[in-house]
Amino acid sequence: MGLLSDPNRRRALISLLTRLNAPICVLCYFAAVCWFMGLSFEPFTLRTYMSENAMGSTMVEERFPAGERALATAKEFGAHKKKVGGMPVDWLVKTMQARGLEVFTQRFSRTLPFPDENNERYIVEGTNVYGILRAPRAPRTEALVLSAPCSPGDDNNQAVGLLLGLAHYFRNQVFWAKDIIFLVNEHDLIGMQAWLEGYHHTNTTGMDWSPLQGRGGSIQAALSLELSSDVVTSLDIVLEGLNGQLPNLDLANLFYAFCQKIGVLCTIQGRIQRNDWDSVSGYSHAVQTMMLMVMKQASGRSWGDHGLFLRYHIEAATIKGINSFRQYKTDATTVGRLLEGMYRKLNNLLERLHQSYFFYLMPSLSHFVSIGYYMPAFGLLAVILLLRALDLWVQLATPPSRNEDGVADIEQSSTGVLSVLTPLVISHLTGAALYMLPVRFQEMAVEHFQVSETEAVVLTAIAVYTGGLALPHNTHRLISGEGTEQGWRVLKLVAVLYLAVLLGCTALINFSLGFILALTLVPVASFVTPHVPKLLSAVVLVILSPAFTLLFSVFIFQELQEMPVSFQDGWMLYLSVISQGILDHYLYGSLVYPLIALMVYPCWLLFWNILFWK
């Protein structure tokens, strides 16, 4: 007879499962953590390589000559920017037209849901200026984008100058097979969002923008440039985009290949690669680089202007010039040559970049971990949840000895299902409240308390979150029957399966977010029962809740960036992170805030309910 249909064997398996459940769960958890930490160990990673045949090697001759002229243009741009007090639209239009581009502008305006204290803006109005270099002989079906942000103050002047210099040089070449769009966007991400929405005729975030008069073709790749100094010591590439989406690895490979050809120092996460992977410090350096990438990806923010392109299946990255205290400086001509080489190779593309990985982690610029290698870490955590669910199922299926007959069982389990529904509904209503109340009732909060709108929103969110903790003591009055032993088991089974599906789906889209949530929520899900010591487990549960995970992540992130903060500063940073998260959702459609408010928090509340089950 088969393994599972033979009742003796089945009983043996089931008893094995129940006996060994806890040890296997603990083992799996540690295995998952070890696997994750082992991912950045260099022998377990693969070297990066170009997968796209059409791009070939770096076999191209870069001849960009005009770095100095680009810097002069940058100074002019800075002067005009200061004179106008914002984006010098007329000067930009005139300069781009002088370089032979077809120039268009786009006006946009947006009222933020509440004032953004980090960037000090509330009602945003701006103009994007873009010039299109038409391919001399090709039909206008495909385009590439080079963008530089127009930042307040003296930032990114050189980026715009280099952009204009490259536009002038590119205009003189005959080998462009795609249109090249040179974009200068105002108010960084907001302007970029307006431009992309106008280009693709979508309106997902409720922004107000004027339609684009000129268009290129479907955009194949985009690079965003951030350069604030005349010389750089290194170039940093930023890959993480909105909702943790990453561009195709071939774009990073292309950047790295050209950095090596031209001899520029290239970094990722702002950290220089080290060669001593077998030493402890080398390994910890790689771990820190990978953890930085994991945290940036989990936050769901777009860490450069490129991040908004990824949603439209346009591979994009941001290249930042960093000027630190190193001896060897790279001038603007070399940076221009690097960009020229990259664009010539992107020009050779026949299809969008799709040959290389879309899901990866990079412990350094020359090594990567693909999804096939890092997913088992999450899989091991999901297995814990499944084992727990199986254990509960077995417990539910085998009635306890004090029940006499099967009829009473069925009755109890049916009432159990109904009683499960109530906590579910109430948790999700709390989650909905956490999602909607902070922004809707900010005026009321401002009236009653003397705080600014941003603080009102954040503090309302925290208040709703903490208010949810009081729920179990109150909802029991609503439940008709008494809570039973079967009841909490059914609830826990449902909650564990719900968490498993939720974390699984999250990990597929944004592995880092799923993994970090799983690290804290899976232990919660496994050990919580009404019978564990209440006070201790309540404290543990609160510490492992999403809000505290975020708080710890903020501190760890600052540590990893070698800018550790004190508790006060950390707390203020935490509040600003929450406000930025809510703003990201309303401005660009980031899904982290709704996910946590509407799904993860209710799930956690279910476990809180189980803890206080009577």
> Interface residues with other proteins (CB under 8 A)?
53-54, 56, 59-61, 135-138, 173-177, 344, 347-348, 350
Q: How far is the CB of 56 from other proteins (least distance, A)?
A: 6
Q: How far is the CB of 132 from other proteins (least distance, A)?
A: 16
DSSP count for the chain of H helices, then E strands? 20, 12
Q: Which is nearer to other proteins, 136 or 153 (CB)?
A: 136
Most distant CA atoms of the chain, gap in Å = 92
Q: Which is nearer to other proteins, 147 or 347 (CB)?
A: 347
Q: Which is nearer to other proteins, 60 or 74 (CB)?
A: 60
116: β partners: 121
Nearby residues of 215 by Cβ (< 8 Å), 6 or more positions away: 199
Q: How far is the CB of 137 from other proteins (least distance, A)?
A: 5
Q: Which is nearer to other proteins, 218 or 558 (CB)?
A: 218
Work out the angle between the directed axes of helices 332-347 and 157-171 (0-180°, nearest 10): 50
Residues 353, 355: Cα–Cα separation, whole Å: 6
Q: How far is the CB of 65 from other proteins (least distance, A)?
A: 15
CB 16 within 8 A of CB 391: no
Q: How far is the CB of 196 from other proteins (least distance, A)?
A: 26
Q: How far is the CB of 170 from other proteins (least distance, A)?
A: 13
Closest among 451, 190, 209, 202 to 302, alpha carbons compared: 190
Q: Which is nearer to other proteins, 175 or 328 (CB)?
A: 175
Q: How far is the CB of 168 from other proteins (least distance, A)?
A: 18
**Can you say how many angstroms the Cα of residue 31 is from the centroid of all Cα atoms in its chain?**
25
Q: Which is nearer to other proteins, 54 or 417 (CB)?
A: 54
Q: Which is nearer to other proteins, 271 or 344 (CB)?
A: 344
Residues 224, 226: Cα–Cα separation, whole Å: 7
Residues 109, 145: Cα–Cα separation, whole Å: 23
Q: How far is the CB of 141 from other proteins (least distance, A)?
A: 11
What is the side-by-side order of every strand in the sheet holding 360-364? 46-47, 367-370, 360-364
Cα four-point dihedral sign 15, 20, 21, 24: negative
Residues 179, 166: Cα–Cα separation, whole Å: 14
CB 385 within 8 A of CB 500: yes
Q: Which is nearer to other proteins, 159 or 180 (CB)?
A: 180
